[in-house]
């Protein structure tokens, strides 16, 4: 499972549409679709229902969304901590 897959999953879950998620992420639509399929294959579970109007989270997808958001949030907090530590490195005595 990659960070890109988590980002794509969250974007599609929030947008309800692969095309809108791809535009939001500033990437082409085919890689988003491929990565979602790969994520579902890895998890062994469909996360979305594909409809003519877009994508709808299935119950397993709704559960996974909580953890995907938490993982992405933790990574952002880690990056912020590193940035903060870099800024205070010269001040440590």
Number of domains in the chain: 1
- The two tokens of residue 87 are 């800024």
Q: Is the dihedral of CA 82, 84, 88, 92 positive or negative?
A: negative
pTM of the model: 0.86
Q: Which domain holds residue 20?
A: 3-91
List per-residue pLDDT tens for the chain, 93 residues long: 999 999 999 999 999 999 999 999 999 999 999 999 999 999 999 999 999 999 999 999 999 999 999 999 999 999 889 888 877 665 544
DSSP labels for 4-46?
HHHHHHHHHHHHSSHHHHHHHHTS-HHHHHHHHHHHHHHHTS-
**Length of the chain (residues):** 93
- The two tokens of residue 72 are 């992405």
Domain CATH for 59: 1.10.10.10
């Amino acid at each position: 499972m990659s960070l890109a897959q988590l980002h794509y999953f969250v974007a599609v879950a929030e947008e309800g549409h692969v095309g809108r998620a791809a535009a939001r992420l500033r990437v082409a639509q085919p890689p988003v679709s491929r990565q979602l399929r790969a994520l579902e294959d890895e998890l062994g579970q469909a996360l979305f229902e594909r409809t003519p109007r877009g994508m709808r989270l299935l119950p397993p997808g709704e559960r996974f969304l909580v953890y995907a958001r938490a993982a992405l949030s933790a990574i952002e907090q880690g990056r912020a901590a590193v940035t903060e530590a870099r800024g205070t490195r010269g001040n440590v005595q």
